[in-house]
Amino acid sequence: MTVLSVRPVVLCGGSGTRLWPLSRAGFPKQFLVLSGTHSLFQQALLRINELQADDILLGQALVVTNEEHRFLALDQLRDIEQNDATLLLEPAGRNTAPALTLAALEASQNGHDPILVVSPADQAVTDMVAFTTALQQGIRAAADGAIVVLGVTPDTPETGYGYIQHEEVASTQGGYRVAKFVEKPDIETAISYLASGNFFWNSGMFVLRASVWLKALTHFRPDIAESTQRAWSGRTIDSRFIRPDKSLFTAVPGDSIDYAVMEKCPGSAFPAHMVPLNAGWSDLGAWNAVWQVGVQDAHGNVTQGDTLLVDTSNTLVHASNRLVTAVGVSDLVIIETADAVLVADRKQSQDVKKIVGLLDAQKRAELGLHRKVHRPWGWFDSIDEAQRFKVKRIMVKPGASLSLQKHHHRAEHWIVVKGTAEVTCGNKVVLLTENQSTYIPLGEMHRLVNPGSIPLEIIEVQSGSYLGEDDILRFEDTYGRN
């Protein structure tokens, strides 16, 4: 029996703007927990971990994400004890074709040629048995050099997905040869696709050998292949982080896996193979999709958090910070966060992108960050703010520390409410415990460390002429930030 070496590849880029206000540029949808206890990113990894079989040997996962989200990804990997994953950091988003190329180059080092199981980080699947069966079938088909795409059995005339038309006769590998790929159709065309029975939704999940991807990309898009290879050749390695050369990678032409390669495969020297997937799949592209895959009560409602509903039906309610109630409504989306509330007709949830456009045009802070902002050392929550003052609640993980820094425009008061703080202020280092406080004068070099074994929490009161997050001059930083 031949044992097939497999490397999971999770593409963890994108911003998920249609799931605003939960999804933000600084905390996009793949890191959200929309149901259960795991984020979409974690669910993608846990699903792939189930592919192990007598003839399938899973290797280290490759996670392709951007520089800004590296510590979010690392924290969530630790939470599911996936501590051996390698993170490939894009200095700029260039779409999925260059991202997969980075993963293929890393996987094919030292003469290896594993089968890559490529999955976006922001999808949902409800039938794990069907998912595992389809992926294992795809792996065995890819072992002989096939480029495999998973096609989702459609149940509605969806206009938001790309489609795959397959040939009528099933292949000997159990799937179908792909006749053509079709972009998002209008509703009349989508209805005809559904009626025909030989069109499937394009899931964006692929299975292929690393060498096959690199050869196909070189054939169809040599500009992407060559420029990504140059950026990869200039890579740097920092613990589990691998960074391609920033200036060279920024110059790589951006394109998707579908446009760059897959749509060109039918009729070429790189024929595409489709394995059907009927596993309750959704790409969660909008709040209506979240409602569709959620656990609905007797009235069709899907709720998360502290909610009370009366005479309400077919509605999605997500409460993050407080009680959210609804009376006498139907077919709505109600999403509450600490700094924003969205109310929308569920059937128009795709149009949330228009709100995001307005936020961008007005340079609103709610576009990029939540009130609670995650950092590699912990998080801070901006509780209150007015002219010349800001109040934050700050949590520092055990053993973690903020950078050695100073501010040009603000002074700070720190009050310890939980745990123990080691505070450097100028030439002095002191330990503070619960109910003790200290003052950091404007322009004074300082650092906050949690030397204890439990989380440290402090209340920080800032005062000064400018209170922006960019008023930081760092001298030393554990996490390599400037």
| CB proximity list for 192: less than 8 A, separation 6 or greater | none
Torsion region of 266: left, alpha or beta (phi above 0 gives left; psi -120 to 50 gives alpha): beta
CB contact at 8 A, 101 and 261: no
Residue 185 phi, psi dihedral angles, 5° rounding: -90, 170
Fold identical between 4-277 and 372-476? no
Please report the pLDDT score of residue 6 as a whole number.
Answer: 97
The pLDDT value given to residue 14: 81
Task: Report the distance separating Cα 287 and Cα 350, nearest Å.
Answer: 8
Q: Which helix (H) or strand (E) holds 426?
A: none
pLDDT of residue 174: 63
**Under-50 pLDDT residues of the chain:** none
The rounded distance, in Å, linking the Cα atoms of 28 and 225 is 28
For the chain, which residues make up each domain, given as ranges?
A: 4-277, 293-361, 372-476
Q: How far apart are CA 165 and CA 241, in angstroms?
A: 39
Q: What is the CATH number of domain 372-476?
A: 2.60.120.10
| Residues 302-323 pLDDT 10s | 999 999 999 999 999 999 999 9
What is the distance between the alpha carbons of residues 360 and 366, in angstroms, rounded to a whole number?
Answer: 9
The CATH T-level fold of domain 4-277 is: Spore Coat Polysaccharide Biosynthesis Protein SpsA; Chain A (3.90.550)
The confidence score (pLDDT) of residue 240 equals 85
